[in-house]
């Protein structure tokens, strides 16, 4: 199996997990989606747990890259924080999908241990990045930064969940605007 096939499997698995969570990772369905035999998936992933862990790892790695790209593109911490919700909005833009990290976190008790570890890393990557931006922007101190970063991460994930449950991306935007008005998120006027 080529590296391209492995990447195609991970891409298809990511989309399935964003729509249906860990339980949505079906080897036969993924094989059909990619256009290979189900047995071919086992070449790289001995089982569903290994596939789930690989997908979750790729997801948090991609997110870390996206967060750094936001920071580089925006040029400063305040603008980066204002742009942060877009990471979650993109999933909604993709056929009303949910952030895979959020979806799998909701299934936490039923996840294999390797998948749990990767899902925790997703949350950690977001919180660390947010904390850094909050401190650099002078919005939070070193003592309060992590607490505020967790609140922002949780709030935006919750906004995404609410918007998905109503299939209404505009509701996500309204909630994010409310977070800015209430002071949880920085606003453009600051």
Whether residue 68 lies inside any domain: the answer is: yes
Instruction: Supply angle C-alpha 70, 73, 74, rounded to 5.
Output: 80
Q: How confident is the model at residue 190 (pLDDT cuts 50, 70, 90)?
A: very low
Residue ranges making up the domain that contains 123: 55-182
129-177 pLDDT, tens per residue?
Answer: 999 999 999 999 999 999 999 999 999 999 999 999 999 999 999 999 9
CATH code: domain of residue 164: 1.10.357.10
Token readout for 3 is 């590296």
Q: Is residue 6 part of a domain?
A: no
Rounded distance between C-alpha atoms, residue 35 and residue 133, angstroms: 42
Domain count, the chain: 1
Q: List pLDDT tens digits, range 58-116.
A: 999 999 999 999 999 999 999 999 999 999 999 999 989 888 988 899 999 999 999 99
Residue 59 lies in a domain: yes
Q: Rounded CA gap, 18 and 7, in Å?
A: 16
Q: What's this model's pTM, rounded to 2 decimal places?
A: 0.90
DSSP structure string for 96-123: T---HHHHHHHTGGGS-HHHHHHHHHHH
In a domain, 3, yes or no: no
């Amino acid at each position: 199996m080529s590296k391209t096939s492995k990447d195609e499997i991970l891409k298809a698995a990511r989309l399935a997990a964003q729509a249906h969570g860990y339980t949505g990772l079906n080897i036969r369905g993924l094989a059909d989606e990619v256009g290979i035999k189900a047995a071919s998936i086992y070449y790289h992933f001995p089982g569903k747990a290994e596939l789930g862990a690989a997908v979750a790892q790729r997801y948090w790695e991609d997110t870390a890259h996206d967060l750094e790209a936001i920071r580089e593109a925006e040029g400063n911490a305040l603008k980066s924080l204002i742009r942060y919700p877009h990471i979650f909005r993109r999933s909604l833009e993709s056929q009303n999908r949910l952030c895979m990290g959020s979806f799998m976190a909701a299934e936490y008790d039923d996840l294999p241990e390797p998948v749990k570890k990767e899902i925790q890393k997703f949350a950690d990557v977001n919180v660390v990045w947010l904390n850094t931006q909050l401190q650099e922007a002078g919005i939070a101190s070193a003592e309060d930064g992590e607490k505020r970063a967790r609140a922002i991460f949780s709030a935006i994930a919750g906004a995404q969940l609410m918007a998905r449950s109503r299939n209404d991306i505009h509701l996500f935007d309204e909630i994010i605007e409310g977070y800015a008005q209430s002071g949880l998120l920085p606003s453009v006027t600051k």
